[in-house]
Structure 1
Amino acid sequence: MQLEQYQEEHYPIAPGNGPGNEESVEHNITNPGYWLTRFMILRLLGLVYAIAFLVAINQVLPLIGSHGLTPVNLYLDRVTAAYGSVAAGFLRLPSLFWFSHSDAAFMILGWTGLLLALLVMAGYANAIIMAMLWVLYMSFVHVGQEWYGYGWEIQLTETGFLAIFLCPLLDMRPFPKRAPPFLIIILFRWLIFRIMFGASLIKLRGDAIWRNATALYYQFETQPIPGPLSRWFHFLPHTWLKAGVWFNHLAELVAPWFVFWPRLARHIAGVVIILFQLNIFLSGNLSFLNVLTVIPALACLDDGFWSRILPRQLVEKAQEASAHAIESKPMHTTAMVITIVIGLLSIRPAINLLSPRQIMNTSFDPLDLVNTYGAFGTVGKERLNVVLEGTMDNDTSDAAHWKPYIYKGLPVLLDQPSPQIAPYQLRLDWQMWFASMSTPNEYPWTLHLVYKLLHNDRDAVGLFAKDPFNGTPPRYIRAILYRYAFAPPGNPQGLWWKRERIDTWLPPMSANDKILLDFLKAEGWNP
């Protein structure tokens, strides 16, 4: 990099041009750096971490705790057996929970992560804090099993790792005197390129309805957890929905190529990607994925952009830090080393992008440093839902009085509007959406869930919106597979959904059902 470019990127305000100086402001706009960009990236990443750890605090024990649906001790035992030793298992799936995976350990690490994330949100971050957040969250991901098997989990670990090297080692101030290393900004742009371009290719290769622009005829209705605006989007004119697909291709297929271009093209690309993520956020509940994806897109925007839209007081603080910047050779040397490492680890993900057998949401290294991403390579054309139902009657026929367990996000009641859940995530609801397209044999933990509901297990019942039996264990539980569809707005009955019964997904079972008890023992879930 030439000296002039380096100075423009890292020291946009000449010494002596203090805050409030008009010459300083003009210089900042024409020769921008990334002080405000770093500020925005870290604050938003702190928010995502806070949400992710809050989800863990609320749900990790019912899911993978000592009495969870898939207890972590059994999982670590299987990993140890598969790799031959605890040490080999740790090297393949690094996690602090190898040292202790008690329920107390889960809560201590979850609350520690939340508090550190809130500190970052408040504007105080350094490399040590960001490294702690990365290690803590990776520890949850690597023992989370299917509950943490989503692309945004490894995307958060990759994003969090890069953020470590944006910060000074010790200085926690919102605007430290050390400039953000430009090479790390480039790595964030490489990340958003892979996220967006990979998502585009998986769609174009995976399903003809993305190529003929009809995917949005179905996507809003059949997505995992629809949101309050999903029905409105679903009933838009088909011309608009086709235009939405073309906007999808613009943001995922075209815009990524401009994230490395000069300022104007790069700014436009960044704004297009951010607006696209905002649109997806409004149209459904995809956990914190869309907020997380905005973070690397922010690296397309420099301080010249932020100077025009952020409060002047904030801009002046960044200018003051820039004016008194201290060059940190260790930071830049570290950034160069990390860039080389990421470059080497990017070879396999890059080959995957070009492969006709492209895979998505996969890590290629034990630390999840460089991954491959993608979503909705295929779009379902009908919405299937498994609804768990219980009864107090001594009768297992349809004539019995069956009461449904109401999910917190998935539709059950026909007059129940879709709630706003994102950026929070309901991990049981997501897995039940997947299960509805499969069988209990592929989701054996659903039988463990039934057993727990038959005993009115507090943690299991707490995964639902409410207890239909008010603390009394039901006599029988079954699971029915339904086909759901949006009811047209303004229908006379005031319904949000309509549905039809397809089949019995799980037959009625009682607490002393021998087949159920034998299955649980075989799985190691001793009743």
Structure 2
Amino acid sequence: MDWLGWLGTGDYDVAREVVQRGVAAVFLIAFLSAADQFPALLGEHGLLPVPRFLDRAYARRQPTIFRWHYSDRMLRLVAWGGVVASAVLVAGLPQLAAPGAAAVLTTVLFLLLWGAYLSIVNVGQTFYGFGWESLLCEAGFTVAWLGAASVVAPAATPVTTLFLVRWLVFRLEFGAGMIKLRGGPEWRDLTALYYHHETQPMPGPFSRQAHLLPKWVHRGEVLGNHFAQLVCPFFLFAPQPVASVAAAIMIVTQLWLIVTGNFAWLNWLTVVLLFSGISDDVVHAVIPAWAWPVSSDARGLGALPVWYGVVVLAASALLIYLSWWPARNLLARRQLMNASFNRWHLVNAYGAFGSVTKRRDEIVIEGTDDPAGRSGWRAYEFHGKPGDPGRVPRWFAPYHLRLDWLMWFLALGAEGGGWFDMLLVRLLQADRPTLRLLRVDPFGGRAPAFVRARVYRYRFATRAEHRETGLVWIREDRGLLVPPVGARAD
């Protein structure tokens, strides 16, 4: 296989292990989320039933195994199958085989994960309309071609795939940076973080402390963000150790986002992918005790079969070809954010928070068992989104609370698309799968007589207000969004 010797490197054994096992771990969480939430949200009796969606011509053109048949049982089989396959990769079981077999098994398993999750995303409608769904699909397909280490003999890492993983991170970070520069003026005048910690979709336990930091710190956060997203991505392609330093700076910024927010697996997956820029020499210099058991100085693809190297080159060529559209988008004046240019969710455009919301409105759903609907209103509480003003926000990332996220978009004025009306109907019916999506059902599984939705404006309590009242949030009633509706309204 000497003619393909240039294709492999032995300098990224640790990077390959972190990237592959990390991406597999995110897949595991994503499939667990699907098994837990998909039937209530999108199942046969969900808020946006997939069978109804599949009646549309658009849906029947999407690459998904559900285009021929959907059932909640089939969805659960796919989701739990994805959990098992992900766990096998996280545990490194394919690496017990010889190098050629280990690489092929790893590739096949990642392609199965990609295909299974793509099938879910393409019928997930608005509940799966997030940029990190495409990110996970693209990451799964790309890292499938990293080969695999083996306990039997060393096998180097394909350099073209390493380049493409870095190219994915470049588009993710630089795209987000350009969206901000082209977006709201708060990113250019450095005031965006005056608001973001308070108004982000799902605050975490340290979001309030971050929000209360001095304004000069917030301006520094914005400057640091611009440096990490607009400058550092170019240095991922520089020689070592420069590339490792750039990756490390970007990892630190992602860790800050993890500490101060709840963005599902977006930041976690970005950290994992950034390890593609960190060489073994740098890892061993920083952590001398960390020497991967199968680490080698071998060059070339070692004992891997020639045909596998050819397939890696073919997959790399496909991804490079598909890169034209997102590369052009990065330079476009009207840059698209979180867009897929093909039905397979490969080589996508990314970006988030081109503008920052200055105020936080929350929709609070209440119910009463008063037959007249005049008193006794009690709130349904969600797991992640703010509700009870005295409750400290929790950490849920990398787990994705889909209903909570859509409630945030709804409060911003997004169309409910029918799902919100159906949510109220399901609460009136005391539908058990729907109630499982919530943290608190104030009626203990019984059907209320009426439900309604109110809008409140939330802000974090100041330090003085917190000392005086013990509250985390201060809220102001902004009126009814949906007046009381009863079971007869169905």
TM-score by length of 1: 0.86
1:446-465 equivalence runs, <5 A: 446-465=420-439
**Aligned residue for 2:242?**
265
- CA 1:327/1:448 → structure 2, altered by over 3 Å: closer, same or farther? closer
Equivalent residues of 2:48, 2:418 under 8 A apart? no
**C-alpha separation between the residues in 1 aligned to 2:152 and 2:323?**
31
Report the 3-state secondary structure (helix = DSSP H, G, I; strand = E; otherwise coil) of the residue aligned with 1:291: helix
Matched, 1:332 2:331: no
**C-alpha separation between the residues in 2 aligned to 1:316 and 1:290?**
28
**C-alpha separation between the residues in 2 aligned to 1:256 and 1:5?**
28
Amino acid in structure 2 at the alignment position of 1:52: A
The one of 60, 64, 86 aligned to 1:117: 86
**C-alpha separation between the residues in 2 aligned to 1:93 and 1:175?**
41
**C-alpha separation between the residues in 1 aligned to 2:283 and 2:305?**
24
- CA 1:442/1:324 → structure 2, altered by over 3 Å: closer, same or farther? closer
The one of 370, 392, 401 aligned to 1:417: 392
The one of 478, 482, 486 aligned to 2:460: 486
1:450-471 residue CA offsets vs partner (Å, 9 max, x unmatched):
1110010001111110211012
For residue 163 of structure 1, report the CA deviation from its aligned partner.
1.1
**C-alpha separation between the residues in 2 aligned to 1:99 and 1:340?**
31
- CA 1:361/1:156 → structure 2, altered by over 3 Å: closer, same or farther? same
**Aligned residue for 1:369?**
346
Report the 3-state secondary structure (helix = DSSP H, G, I; strand = E; otherwise coil) of the residue aligned with 2:285: coil
Equivalent residues of 2:199, 2:359 under 8 A apart? yes
**Aligned residue for 2:407?**
432
**C-alpha separation between the residues in 1 aligned to 2:221 and 2:66?**
43
Equivalent residues of 1:35, 1:175 under 8 A apart? no
Report the 3-state secondary structure (helix = DSSP H, G, I; strand = E; otherwise coil) of the residue aligned with 2:25: helix
How many percent identity over aligned positions? 37
Report the 3-state secondary structure (helix = DSSP H, G, I; strand = E; otherwise coil) of the residue aligned with 1:506: strand
**Aligned residue for 2:383?**
408
**Aligned residue for 1:72?**
50
**C-alpha separation between the residues in 1 aligned to 2:416 and 2:450?**
22
1:239-272 residue CA offsets vs partner (Å, 9 max, x unmatched):
1111000110011011011111111221111001
**C-alpha separation between the residues in 2 aligned to 1:99 and 1:312?**
52
**Aligned residue for 1:497?**
473
The one of 479, 482, 485 aligned to 1:506: 482
**Aligned residue for 1:525?**
none
**Aligned residue for 1:151?**
131
Report the 3-state secondary structure (helix = DSSP H, G, I; strand = E; otherwise coil) of the residue aligned with 1:117: helix
For residue 178 of structure 1, report the CA deviation from its aligned partner.
2.7
Matched, 1:240 2:205: no
1:160-239 equivalence runs, <5 A: 160-167=140-147, 173=150, 177-239=154-216
**Aligned residue for 1:466?**
440
Equivalent residues of 1:286, 1:422 under 8 A apart? yes
**C-alpha separation between the residues in 2 aligned to 1:38 and 1:401?**
57
**C-alpha separation between the residues in 2 aligned to 1:244 and 1:293?**
18
**C-alpha separation between the residues in 1 aligned to 2:438 and 2:93?**
36
Report the 3-state secondary structure (helix = DSSP H, G, I; strand = E; otherwise coil) of the residue aligned with 2:451: strand
Amino acid in structure 2 at the alignment position of 1:55: S
Q: Which of structures 1 and 2 has the bigger CA Rg?
A: 1
Q: CA RMSD in A?
A: 2.2
Equivalent residues of 1:39, 1:174 under 8 A apart? no
**C-alpha separation between the residues in 2 aligned to 1:388 and 1:242?**
36
**C-alpha separation between the residues in 2 aligned to 1:38 and 1:160?**
13
**C-alpha separation between the residues in 2 aligned to 1:468 and 1:327?**
60
For residue 503 of structure 1, report the CA deviation from its aligned partner.
2.1
For residue 121 of structure 1, report the CA deviation from its aligned partner.
1.1
**C-alpha separation between the residues in 1 aligned to 2:306 and 2:4?**
18
- CA 1:176/1:226 → structure 2, altered by over 3 Å: closer, same or farther? farther
**C-alpha separation between the residues in 1 aligned to 2:292 and 2:416?**
54
Equivalent residues of 1:179, 1:326 under 8 A apart? no
For residue 334 of structure 1, report the CA deviation from its aligned partner.
2.1
**C-alpha separation between the residues in 1 aligned to 2:18 and 2:482?**
48
**C-alpha separation between the residues in 1 aligned to 2:346 and 2:187?**
30
For residue 335 of structure 1, report the CA deviation from its aligned partner.
2.5
The one of 31, 49, 69 aligned to 1:53: 31
- CA 1:146/1:176 → structure 2, altered by over 3 Å: closer, same or farther? farther
Amino acid in structure 2 at the alignment position of 1:153: E
**Aligned residue for 2:449?**
475
For residue 342 of structure 1, report the CA deviation from its aligned partner.
1.4
**C-alpha separation between the residues in 1 aligned to 2:26 and 2:145?**
18
**C-alpha separation between the residues in 2 aligned to 1:214 and 1:231?**
17
For residue 328 of structure 1, report the CA deviation from its aligned partner.
4.1
**C-alpha separation between the residues in 2 aligned to 1:324 and 1:387?**
57
Report how many aligned residue pairs link the two structures. Answer: 476
Report the 3-state secondary structure (helix = DSSP H, G, I; strand = E; otherwise coil) of the residue aligned with 2:143: helix
Report the 3-state secondary structure (helix = DSSP H, G, I; strand = E; otherwise coil) of the residue aligned with 1:49: helix
Report the 3-state secondary structure (helix = DSSP H, G, I; strand = E; otherwise coil) of the residue aligned with 2:468: coil
**C-alpha separation between the residues in 2 aligned to 1:175 and 1:61?**
43
For residue 275 of structure 1, report the CA deviation from its aligned partner.
0.9
Report the 3-state secondary structure (helix = DSSP H, G, I; strand = E; otherwise coil) of the residue aligned with 2:384: coil
**C-alpha separation between the residues in 2 aligned to 1:375 and 1:443?**
22
Equivalent residues of 1:386, 1:436 under 8 A apart? yes
**Aligned residue for 2:65?**
96
**Aligned residue for 1:36?**
14
Equivalent residues of 1:183, 1:336 under 8 A apart? yes
Report the 3-state secondary structure (helix = DSSP H, G, I; strand = E; otherwise coil) of the residue aligned with 1:502: strand
